[in-house]
């Protein structure tokens, strides 16, 4: 039998955890500030929009504000816990002892679960509306429901002594990343397929069909950070699982603690930022690959990208692309021509 860890090691382990938790909380507050800026900017653009266009954009503005409120609530809860414990603790040992079960832990996990439900749920609905074969969304639907189930399981086991809590976290993040990647891939491929179909039918207007490429870029740019940090977080967590007993017993591997906390901060921050990026870029008409000229403003006069609308095109095999009303009329899109069926708004 191995000897129990010394008090010196417990103290060093406690200080490492305390620093990591505090850094995570401060970073979460900073991320909440980014989400706040994006939500308020979207709200300002909405208030400057003419009355006839506000109704179409209201769901997106509401979703943006809801994401901000939920994430800010979780950030406020998260910063209050280490603050209370660090004031009362005089050493790393005290910090470990003073970290009991607290209602704020459960409230923070509930807020995180709601973010997953809202963010991935909206993308899953978009995927359902775009994809022709409904069976294609079976995988993201299963992983989406599995993510919610595992999140609820984590809430139940949050303060238990179960050794499987880290395994649940690993599977939870893995399913979430898989859901995000699969949904983004399906939507992006559908947009590219629709663009290629229209390019063949309208070869003289191929330059005007960049709206499809822009929409795909917006989705991919927004999903990429979440997917990258999620994969890194899964890798570090997977490597830490067999070393967790060694870390607690003072046999090395303590560097995994700050690495795990840092990647957890980045991953959960982009759970809130990624859907905000989609709404923000749709509202302002900006993406990394296509930025408006500096002479254009972000006011309604500069015609920022309007709400995402699924358009019913004429009886062809072109599909249902994502375009805006302004852009559709500007490029002579068949869906807004005199021969097209009316647009069906989500």
State pLDDT tens for residues 253-275. Answer: 677 788 888 999 999 999 899 88
Does pLDDT of 285 surpass 60?
A: no
- pLDDT: is 169 or 294 the higher one? 169
Does pLDDT of 311 surpass 80?
A: no
* pLDDT bracket for residue 189 (50, 70, 90): confident
Instruction: Return the top range by mean pLDDT from 61-65, 213-217, 296-300.
Output: 61-65
Closest Cα to residue 153, out of 141, 140, 138, 164? Answer: 164
User: For residue 28, what are the CA distances in angstroms to 25, 35, 85, 87?
Assistant: 5, 10, 18, 20
- pLDDT: is 259 or 244 the higher one? 259
pLDDT of 170:
86
Does pLDDT of 324 surpass 70?
A: no
Per cent of the chain over pLDDT 70 is: 71
- pLDDT: is 205 or 228 the higher one? 228
| For residues 191-206, average pLDDT | 76
pLDDT of 305:
44
pLDDT of 309:
44
Instruction: Return the top range by mean pLDDT from 14-23, 148-157, 260-269.
Output: 260-269
Does pLDDT of 79 surpass 60?
A: yes
Question: pTM above 0.85?
Answer: no
pLDDT of 87:
75
pLDDT of 27:
93
* pLDDT bracket for residue 163 (50, 70, 90): low
**Cα 286–Cα 292–Cα 296 angle in degrees, nearest 5:** 120
Q: What domains does the chain contain, in order, with CATH numbers?
A: 7-290+297-336 (1.20.1070)
pLDDT of 340:
39
- Asked whether the beta carbons of 227 and 180 are under 8 A apart, the reply is yes
User: For residue 320, what are the CA distances in angstroms to 145, 196, 215?
Assistant: 26, 13, 13
Instruction: Return the top range by mean pLDDT from 25-39, 75-89, 277-291.
Output: 25-39
Tokens representing 37?
Answer: 């800026």
Helix (H, G, I), strand (E, B) or coil at 342: coil
């Amino acid at each position: 039998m191995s000897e129990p860890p010394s008090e010196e090691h417990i103290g060093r382990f406690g200080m490492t955890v305390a620093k990591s938790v505090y850094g995570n909380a401060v970073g979460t507050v900073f991320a909440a500030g980014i989400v706040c800026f994006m939500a308020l900017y979207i709200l300002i653009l909405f208030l400057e929009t003419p009355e006839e266009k506000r109704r179409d954009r209201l769901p997106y503005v509401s979703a943006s504000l809801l994401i901000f409120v939920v994430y800010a609530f979780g950030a406020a809860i998260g910063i209050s816990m280490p603050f209370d414990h660090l004031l009362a603790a005089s050493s790393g040992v005290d910090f470990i002892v003073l970290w009991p079960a607290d209602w704020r832990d459960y409230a923070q996990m509930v807020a995180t679960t709601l973010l997953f439900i809202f963010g991935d749920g909206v993308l899953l609905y978009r995927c359902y509306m775009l994809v022709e074969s409904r069976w294609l969304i079976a995988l993201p639907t299963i992983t989406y429901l599995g993510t919610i189930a595992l999140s609820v399981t984590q809430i139940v086991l949050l303060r238990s002594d179960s050794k499987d809590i880290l395994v649940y976290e690993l599977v939870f993040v893995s399913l979430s990343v898989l859901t995000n990647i699969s949904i983004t891939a399906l939507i992006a491929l559908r947009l590219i397929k629709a663009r290629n179909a229209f390019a063949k039918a309208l070869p003289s207007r191929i330059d005007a069909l960049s709206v499809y490429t822009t929409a795909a870029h917006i989705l991919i740019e927004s999903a990429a950070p979440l997917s990258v940090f999620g994969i890194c977080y899964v890798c570090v967590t997977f490597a830490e699982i067999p070393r967790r007993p060694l870390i607690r017993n003072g046999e090395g591997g303590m560097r995994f603690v700050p690495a795990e906390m840092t990647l957890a901060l980045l991953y959960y921050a982009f759970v809130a930022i990624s859907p905000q990026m989609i709404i923000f870029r749709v509202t302002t008409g900006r993406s990394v690959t296509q930025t408006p000229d500096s002479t254009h403003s972000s006011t309604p006069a500069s015609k920022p990208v309007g709400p995402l609308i699924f358009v019913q095109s004429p009886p062809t095999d072109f599909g249902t692309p994502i375009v805006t009303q302004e852009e559709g009329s500007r490029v002579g899109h068949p869906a807004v021509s005199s021969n097209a069926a009316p647009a069906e708004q989500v």
